[in-house]
Amino acid sequence: MKTNVKIYLCQLNFHVGDLDKNLEKIISTRKNVKKQGGDLCVFSELSITGYPPEDLVLRKSFIYAVEDIIDKLLALSKDGGPALIIGYPRNDNGKLKNSAALIDNGIISIVDKFHLPSYGVFDEARVFHSERVSGPIAFRGIRIGLMICEDMWFSDVSESLQESGAQILVVINGSPYDQNKEDERISVAVSRVIETNLPLIYVNQIGGQDELVFDGGSFALDNNSKLCLQNSLWKEEVNYIEIFNNNNNLIEISNFIINKISNGLESKYNAMVLGLRDYVIKNNFKGVLLGLSGGIDSALAAAIAVDALGSEKVRGIRMPSKYSSKGSLDDAEETGKLLNIRIDTINIEEINSVYSNNLEELFTGLANDLTEENIQSRIRGVILMAISNKFGDMLISTGNKSEISVGYTTIYGDMNGGFSALKDAYKTDVYELSKWRNSNYNDLFLGSNGPAIPINSIKKEPSAELNLNQKDQDSLPPYEILDEILKSIIEDEASLDSIIKLGHDRELVNRIYRLLLLSEYKRRQSAPGVKLTARSFGKERRYPITNAFLYDK
């Protein structure tokens, strides 16, 4: 019996709900692996359906279609190999399971996910069932301990598999990116290896799915926790390791491939590029458009869009009013030149005057305030949506996490859009990412190599330019202070007293916390956006809109 086994880590970009396309990708990959003499193709969690399928799995017709795919793969596998490890949702006597199957020569061996995550972006316990830890699977002289994503984050599943005779751990994953995950995954995997003295293979998917983006980074560790294989991040990639039994019946690994991986600002920027790209492509939009104010947010959003889609699929719209400075108009024009995108200009002053004149009688005796500022923003929102409707390009909104946190956005105005690349990037991140992009480039990008954001957009004081000589810091603290407070409240759930003890003004901290809670209704109506942090708005941070508990200690 063959004891040398060539295992391919198949890191692919699957499309939720497109079962035929996913099957085609699996079959094509298997065909290439067969040409190379491979024994086993390992795909990611729920690879047949794409991850996460959410409530699609509750539709009987969807599960029937998945079963049909499994039948096709079973028939295909009778050709002698390579075998497949596939993730899919399974109906087990009326109970839905998040399952993995090893399919080889017309035979299927099944394991079910034991730990079903119900935190952060995950909600699996609502739709799937869990009953027991499965045992190892015998495959060509090797006993494989097969785990599914969350099962690796607990020691009980791997220890049970080791005690049951597993010789190697294989983990299939749908693990979305956040800025902390890169180090956490490898650390947890090393813990499982140390506890079991077994080598471990980790296969993750890549690609954007709504607000989630998957970064790949599949890897393999030997039983001494040495990194034997490291797939790239942010792209489809298929690499292999070869394993064999030594004289002590322990698994050894050969064929070391270590690809360089990104981290920090590069990973954040890549996440936004890939997340936007897949959202546009998978939802069949022609391209994107956005309002270009000359500010840092719209400039960075435009650069991300061009890197994601190419300059020919991005369109900028300048919409000046009497409060727009010539410098801002020039900066927006320079953004267009740096990115080689089309820019149109529509002056909104006359439209704004019509609104003002028609409301003048109703507003008699009342001073100008945020109402008049918001009208301008909403005029711009209407114009952008009209262009989007007429030409079929998706509007992207340009608000960042700092502004969205404290409600420094206009609902039905600058919040308009189908997607927001900057939604989970704080304002200080926006500056750092802009500086990074002006000095860096990689093969994920479709834009030109070179500066992409005007220097003046980075250096000048931020302003919404909805009033005379307006600056963001007229109503907000400096963004360095604001972001430090917001990160403590949002990411750490820190008490207000603990934040004040760090040296922040008590009145300011209370004010920021109150603005954060009062702006929840706006965030519920905002566009989806790429998750970058461990506590993105939406699924991960769920506060009530109607909430009288506005202060904390």
Instruction: Give yes or no for residue 112 having a pLDDT over 50.
Output: yes
In the predicted model, is pLDDT for residue 534 greater than 90? no
Confidence at residue 1, expressed as pLDDT on a 0 to 100 scale: 42
Work out the pLDDT band at 141, boundaries 50, 70, 90.
confident
pLDDT of 450 > 50? The answer is yes
Mean pLDDT of the chain: 91
Full residue range of the structural domain in which residue 145 is found: 5-261
What is the rounded average pLDDT of the residues 285-310? 96
* Model confidence at 553: pLDDT above 70: no
Same domain, 286 and 235: no
Judgement on whether residues 154 and 227 belong to the same structural domain of the protein: yes
CA atoms of 278 and 281, how far apart (whole Å): 5
Segment 419-445 mean pLDDT:
95
- Of 471, 496, 518, the position where a domain reaches its end is 471
Domain final residue pick, 471, 498, 526: 471
Q: What is the pLDDT of residues 343-363, one digit of tens each?
A: 999 999 999 999 999 999 999
pLDDT score of 164: 94
User: Is pLDDT above 50 for 385?
Assistant: yes
Q: Is residue 228 annotated as part of the catalytic site, yes or no?
A: no
Which pLDDT value is given to residue 468?
Answer: 56
> 422 in a domain, yes or no?
yes
Kindly state whether residue 529 falls inside one of the protein's structural domains: no
In a domain, 514, yes or no: no
Bridge-based pairing state of the strands 107-112 and 95-104? antiparallel
How many separate helices (H) and strands (E) can be counted in the chain?
16, 20
Looking at residues 163-179, what average pLDDT do you find?
94
Residue 59, classified by CB atoms within 10 Å of its CB into exposed (0-12), middle (13-18) or buried (19+), is exposed
pLDDT at position 465 over 60: no
Q: Greater confidence, 121 or 6?
A: 6
Overall average pLDDT of the 41-47 stretch = 97
Distance, in Å, from the CA atom of 540 to the CA atom of 531, rounded to the nearest integer, reads: 10
Position 509 pLDDT exceeds 80: yes
CB 447 within 8 A of CB 303: yes
Residue 472 has pLDDT above 70, yes or no: no
Q: Taking residues 412-430, what's their average pLDDT?
A: 94
39-53, 182-196, 536-550: which has the minimum mean pLDDT? 536-550
% of the chain with per-residue pLDDT over 70:
96
- Concatenate the DSSP letters of all residues of 385-400 into one string: HHHHHHH-PEEB----
510 φ, ψ to 5°? -60, -40
169/53 same-domain check? yes
Domain match, 383 and 443 both: yes
Task: Specify the range with the lowest mean pLDDT, choosing from 28-32, 132-136, 368-372, 404-408.
Answer: 368-372
Query: Is the pLDDT assigned to residue 242 strictly greater than 60?
Result: yes
Residue 307 sits in a domain of what CATH number?
3.40.50.620
Check whether 172 has a pLDDT greater than 50.
yes
Specify if 150 maps to a domain: yes
Q: What angle do CA 180, 521, 298 make, to 5 degrees?
A: 60
Same domain, 148 and 272: no
Are residue 274 and residue 163 in the same domain, yes or no?
no
Q: How many domains does the chain have?
A: 2
Question: Does residue 41 carry a catalytic annotation?
Answer: no
Overall pTM surpassing 0.75 (yes/no)? yes
Catalytic residue (choose from 6, 113, 427, 531): 113
Residues 61 and 144 in one domain: yes
| Residue 272 falls inside a structural domain | yes
Q: Mark whether 274 and 245 lie in a shared domain.
A: no
pLDDT of 345: 95
pLDDT in tens, 254-280: 878 888 888 899 999 999 999 999 999
Q: What is the pLDDT of residue 260?
A: 84
Q: Are 205 and 216 in contact (CB under 8 A)?
A: yes
Residue 469, pLDDT above cutoff 70: no
What secondary structure letter does DSSP report for 344? E
Supply 46's token pair.
Answer: 């729920």
Mean pLDDT of 35-52: 96
Are 156 and 165 in contact, with CB atoms under 8 Å apart? Answer: no
**520 lies in some domain:** no
Q: What is the CATH number of the domain that holds 15?
A: 3.60.110.10
Mean predicted confidence (pLDDT) in 457-485 = 75
Q: What is the pLDDT of residue 473?
A: 64
Q: What is the pLDDT of residues 199-215, one digit of tens each?
A: 999 999 999 999 999 99
Q: Are residues 247 and 334 in the same domain?
A: no
Question: What's the rounded mean pLDDT across residues 176-194?
Answer: 90
- Tokens 């983006």 belong to residue: 213
Tell me the three-class secondary structure of 401-462, residue by residue.
HHHHHHCCCCCCCCCCCCEECCCCCCHHHHHHHHHHHHHCCCCCCCCCCCCCCCHHHHHCCC
Q: Per the residue annotation, which of 6, 10, 25, 45 is the catalytic one?
A: 45
Average the pLDDT over 335-347 and give the result: 96
- Terminal-residue alpha carbon distance, the chain: 66
Has residue 249 got a pLDDT over 80? no
The mean pLDDT of 75-88, rounded to a whole number, is: 94
Say whether 149 is catalytic: yes
216 and 302, same domain (yes or no): no
Q: Taking 60 as the threshold, does the pLDDT of residue 467 lie above it? A: no
- pLDDT tier at 182 (50, 70, 90 boundaries)? confident
Q: Is 546 among the domain residues?
A: no
Catalytic residue among 149, 182, 484, 540: 149
Query: Is 453 inside a domain boundary?
Result: yes
A 10 A CB-CB count for 245 gives 15
Q: What is the pLDDT of residue 98?
A: 96
Residues 29 and 176 in one domain: yes
The domain boundary, picked from 214, 239, 261, lies at: 261
Q: Is 82 found in the same domain as 144? A: yes
In the block, residue with structure tokens 């070869």:
242
